[in-house]
Structure 1
Amino acid sequence: MRRPSQIIECGDFVLRRWQARSDFAPALKLIEESLDHLRPWEPWVARHSEEHTRDLLANSESKWESGEVYNYAIAKGGTLIGMCQASPGAEPQGWRLGYWLHPAATGQGIATRATAALVTEMFTLPDVAHLEIAHDLANTSSGAIPRRLGFTEVRRTRATAPAAPSGSGIEVVWRLNRS
């Protein structure tokens, strides 16, 4: 089974595969410093704990090996500034991308460039026909990224998971097909 690269260079930052042992303290710090920024949009923030972070990193390693999910740390100058991932979508040969940044890293084009790099990398895999990005309708910052990258909005549906505190409960799904 082919997998994406473990390290994706993006100029002034890098996407790199998580390492459960060495990344725990920096990942915990990244998440804790980002909680207020993420709370309006990410329901998992309510379950955040040291144990949850350990589990996230351990699962990242095992799921990478099995080809289930490809989780990346976004690092700039050795400092973690965010996370992004690719996970299987609902349809065969489709994958869903997700991303978030530390609040100090927002507004600099990093999420767009990181997502663009992940798009390019995922389309090197032979069994990936399309990529999707989903976000809450009210999260306009997150929605700007697929628009900038040439994704097409394909549907709006009532979210299956409980809405985040600032969420509308409407999930907007964008798709980009392999060209």
Structure 2
Amino acid sequence: MTSSDTATDRSLFQPTVLDLGDVRLRPWGRALDLTGGTVAAVMAAAADREVARWNPLTDATRPAGAEAYLDRADERWADGSTACFAITDAADGTLCGNVVLKWTDRAEGIAMVGYWLLAAARGRGLATRTADAVTRWGVRTAGARRIELYHAVDNAPSCRVAARAGFPYEGTLRASYRDGDGPYHDEHLHARLATDPEPRLA
């Protein structure tokens, strides 16, 4: 692919800020400036028990690992394969969590959405709202046709997020993913099509 092809390829995710009012979704990367320090915020997230349980962030508990996390986000934005957003408080700029949309089969228009929230941000519906926001954005700006959402069977809160965000349950994948706690988990597969009705969120 040439540089001119890259510049005009609509299916490549382009860095942007999504404003949801009380929170903003801002691109992860070295240029991101979070209140209290971006590297420190990544390290705190990696040390959060619930984040670590369901997300492989164990190497980000140290500065070098957190910096590598930011470098990977920059690389994925640069090649257009993955849209990595920090969920930040609109009032004070602190980190609330993460939401990501990445191509799993770009030629077929299939992407995957994932998310995590810090303890102080849970219970506000942010996972549902941000998953919905990046899904709408991916359909609108990059032509995503099918967006999939996977979560460990034991992760009941994520199952509720999927249902509220308009991702119907499609089946169970056996021993399909190794999460942050070590063993392989069965996962629920949910998916939302570009042609599905958009959820009506509170």
Residue 11 (str. 1) matches residue 21 (str. 2): yes
> Which residue is equivalent to 1:115?
131
Query: What amino acid is aligned across from residue 17 of structure 1 in structure 2?
Result: P
TM-score by length of 2: 0.78
Q: Kindly, what percent of the aligned residue pairs are identical?
A: 22
Residue 28 (str. 1) matches residue 44 (str. 2): no
- What stretches of structure 1 of length at least 5 have no aligned partner? none
Residue 58 (str. 1) matches residue 43 (str. 2): no
Distance 1:101 1:31, change over 3 A: farther
Query: What amino acid is aligned across from residue 116 of structure 1 in structure 2?
Result: D
Q: How does 1:93-112 map to 2 (within 5 A)?
A: 93-112=109-128
Q: Look at both structures and tell me which one has the larger radius of gyration over its CA atoms.
A: 2
Q: How many residues align?
A: 178
CA contact (8 A) 2:173 2:186 kept: yes
Higher relative contact order (CA 8 A, sep 6+): 1
In angstroms, what is the RMSD of aligned CA positions? 2.3
- C-alpha distance after superposition, 1:80-135 (max 9, x if no partner): 11111011125721100010111010001111111111111011135311101100
CA distance in 2, matches of 1:153, 1:35: 28
Secondary structure (helix, strand or coil) at the match of 1:104 reads helix
Residue 89 (str. 1) matches residue 104 (str. 2): yes
- What stretches of structure 2 of length at least 5 have no aligned partner? 1-8, 196-202
Q: How does 1:26-175 map to 2 (within 5 A)?
A: 26-33=38-45, 35-42=48-55, 44-48=56-60, 49-76=62-89, 77=91, 78-90=93-105, 92-165=108-181, 169-175=185-191
CA contact (8 A) 1:135 1:142 kept: yes
Secondary structure (helix, strand or coil) at the match of 1:39 reads helix
